[in-house]
């Protein structure tokens, strides 16, 4: 394995990781901000409201995007195994 292949695999792994993390992080950011604004307006200081709401929204996001996330991860894994197979020949 030369340096270009190692850099390609590392770069592609980071790209796939960021792509898979994006939906969950964006939903968490939006829900956290909305919850904080709602708590600031209503003067509610209960921290569990934000936590429970974030966890519920993360669960819904994983249910909705889970199939796509799995397909992306499996596709990346197949590419890596195909690359290893072609290097062995």
Residue range 68-79, pLDDT digits in tens: 999 999 999 999
Cα separation, 20 vs 14, whole angstroms:
10
Query: What does the domain layout of the chain look like in residue ranges?
Result: 24-83
Residue range 50-65, pLDDT digits in tens: 899 999 999 999 999 9
Contacts for 9 with CB less than 8 Å, ≥ 6 apart: 80, 83
- What tokens appear for 74 in the block? 């499996």
Whether the pLDDT of residue 41 is over 80: the answer is yes
């Amino acid at each position: 394995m030369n340096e270009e292949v190692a850099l390609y695999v590392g770069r592609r792994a980071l790209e796939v990781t960021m792509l898979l993390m994006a939906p969950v992080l964006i939903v968490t950011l939006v829900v956290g901000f909305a919850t904080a604004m709602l708590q600031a307006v209503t003067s509610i200081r209960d921290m569990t409201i934000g936590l429970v709401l974030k966890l519920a929204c993360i669960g819904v996001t994983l249910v909705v995007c889970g199939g796509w996330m799995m397909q992306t991860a499996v596709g990346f894994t197949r590419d890596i195994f195909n690359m290893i197979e072609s290097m062995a020949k």
